[in-house]
Amino acid sequence: MTVSSVLNGKTGEASEETRAKVLKTVDELGYHPNGVARGLARRRMDTLGIVASFSDRPSLFGDRYFGPIFDGLLLGAQKYHQRALIITEDTWDELPRHLSRYLDGHCDGLIFVTPTFCNEVIAPLIATKLPIVFLGENRPELPISVVDMDNVHAGELATTKLIEAGHQRIAYLGGDSELRSSHERRQGYCNALSRKNLSMATSFIVCGHYSEASGYREASLLLNLPKNQRPTAFFCGDDAIAIGAIHAIHERGALVPQDFSVVGINDDQIAALSHPPLTTIRQPLWAEGEHAIRILLEQIQSEKHSPQQVLLPGEWVERGTVGPPPAQKGGTKL
């Protein structure tokens, strides 16, 4: 008991002379406390599980989306003196077969990063009362905590800015249909148009993937419409889509923002380096990671925790891809 109190930093339970003898002996023996045994005694491992799937990405930490999120997660874990155990799945389809490894006692709680599996898959984990946070995927229908950007607000903000610039024919180029962020950003787009009593042409809503190739393809389809039927502005579900749209516009000999305006979401490095620099909405990815760690720890430390929904606002970043529609400037080149 005396050795335990000294090693755990408890004061007043051993004299300074005894404390010095214990520490000297520990140093001579090269002894280190068994973390698993201590965790079992405290019923806490001080380890948080971070679960992600990245079969379609060459690198998680080098990824323009996952990289900043993991920076925030690891910074948050360090801030609160927690170990982070990164658990990867090739695809989310593998999760049901591997559920047992999430319940082996190594982790005090789990953070799922942008999970795309159906709600039924997570049900067995929820039933165990293990603290869980979804990061980057809003699931208000589940009794779990969520941290994400307010995607509906981001869609409203981007579309409203384009309307205020004078545009009425605004297209939405969305991302992956299995990700709720794409649908939520589209909802914000529709909300903004409805509030301004502007028509929502179904042909102006095109969804594909969060990639440059998809943005190029989606924009090309709309640029092929007759002049009086094509959009004058593109709200893109993320920066990669926006860069692809700009390429499609330039390929046709038109200019941004003189002929077409373009807005993205994320504020990736490519946004500032594009030509012209991309006007976008900055997603608070680092902050999302830190918030997820804090909320998970609050759940772990509280015997009766209520699910929290934290939706962080995006930040408008004005650069060089938004201007008035060409009708206000004497027509477009295209």
Q: What is the pLDDT of residues 27-67, one digit of tens each?
A: 666 555 544 444 444 456 899 999 998 776 777 778 888 89
Least confident of 32-36, 94-98, 189-193: 32-36
Residue 35: the pLDDT is: 46
Return the residue matching tokens 């997603």.
283
Cis-peptide into 257, omega within 30 deg: yes
Q: Which DSSP string corresponds to 181-213?
A: HHHHHHHHHHHHHHHTT----GGGEEE--SSHH
CATH classification (class only), 151-283+317-329: alpha beta
pLDDT tens digits, 257-274 = 999 999 999 998 889 999
Question: In b/e form, how buried is each residue of 155-194, taking b as 16+ CB within 10 angstroms?
Answer: bbbbbbbbbebebebbbbbbbbeebbbbbbbbebbbbbbe
Residue 40: the pLDDT is: 45
Residue 95: the pLDDT is: 87
If DSSP codes are grouped into helix, strand and coil, which group holds residue 145?
Answer: strand
Residue 302: the pLDDT is: 86
Residue 91: the pLDDT is: 86
Residue 298: the pLDDT is: 93
Residue 284 has pLDDT above 70, yes or no: yes
H-run or E-run covering 147: strand 145-149
For residues 125-142, average pLDDT: 92
- State the chain's mean pLDDT as an integer: 88
pTM: 0.83
Q: Say what the alpha-carbon torsion angle 207, 272, 151, 90 is, to the nearest 10 degrees.
A: 70
Least confident of 71-80, 84-93, 176-185: 84-93
Position 8 confidence tier, pLDDT thresholds 50, 70, 90: low
> For residue 332, which of 233, 275, 220, 255 has the smallest C-alpha distance?
255
Percentage of the chain with pLDDT > 70?
87
Residue 90 has pLDDT above 50, yes or no: yes
Residue 333 has pLDDT above 70, yes or no: no
Span 47-150+285-312: which CATH code?
A: 3.40.50.2300
Position 276 confidence tier, pLDDT thresholds 50, 70, 90: very high
Burial (Cβ within 10 Å: 0-12, 13-18, ≥19) of residue 228 = exposed
Least confident of 37-41, 81-85, 247-251, 285-289: 37-41
CB 316 within 8 A of CB 159: no
Residue 278: the pLDDT is: 98
Residue ranges, CATH 3.40.50.2300, the chain: 47-150+285-312, 151-283+317-329
Residue 23 has pLDDT above 80, yes or no: no
Q: Per the structure block, which two tokens stand in for 313?
A: 């606002």
